[in-house]
Structure 1
Amino acid sequence: MVYKKVVVQNKLGLHARPAARFVELANRFKSDIYIKKETATVSAKSIMGVMVMGVNKGAEIIIEASGSDEQEALEALVELVENSLGEEE
């Protein structure tokens, strides 16, 4: 298992469009992937789970991956978050 703490930088956080991008990317990997925020943990492969978390700009989340491609999954998802989830600032 690998994990990394990241801060969400895009203006509106993980709202519909960036959440969909995040989940789509997570689903490309075989590993189990989770997002943790405070005491909540959801599957990064579930659009409803990700949206229910209410991750806003400046929120600190932990991305956790476990499986055969865990390192690649973690790196790709962290990069997406660090690059404002593909949205303009």
Structure 2
Amino acid sequence: MLEKRGKVLLETGIQARPAAQFVQIATRFRSEVLLAYKGKQVNVKSIMGVMSLAVPFGEEVVITVTGDDEIEAMQEVIKFIGEEV
């Protein structure tokens, strides 16, 4: 299991189109990818879950990845949202 903090640098935050792109990235991996923001955690492979967080630009999130390809998955997720904190 890997856990990292990230800062969302997507101009519109993780909403609508970026949320759909985020889900597409996560589904390429076998690992479970979770996103936590303000005390709520969702599976990144669920578009409704990701959109329900409505994470705005500049906010910090916690990403947890568990599985046999967790290193690669974490790298791609961090690269997509912005930067590791």
Scaled to the shorter chain, the TM-score interval is over 0.9
- Which residue pairs with 2:17 in the alignment? 17
TM-score normalized by the length of structure 1: 0.88
Number of aligned residue pairs: give it: 83
Q: After TM superposition, give the deviation of residue 58 of structure 1 in Å.
A: 1.1
Q: After TM superposition, give the deviation of residue 11 of structure 1 in Å.
A: 2.0
Partner-residue secondary structure (3-state), 1:76:
helix
1:1-89 equivalent positions in 2, closer than 5 A: 1-82=1-82
Question: Which digits, 9 at most, give the CA deviation of each residue in 1:48-71, with x for residues without a partner?
Answer: 000000100111101110000011
TM-score normalized by the length of structure 2: 0.92
Q: After TM superposition, give the deviation of residue 38 of structure 1 in Å.
A: 2.1
Q: Distance in 2 between matches of 1:11 and 1:30?
A: 28
Superposed CA RMSD? 1.1
Structure 1 residue runs of 5 or longer lacking an equivalent are 84-89
The residue type paired with residue 7 of structure 2 is V
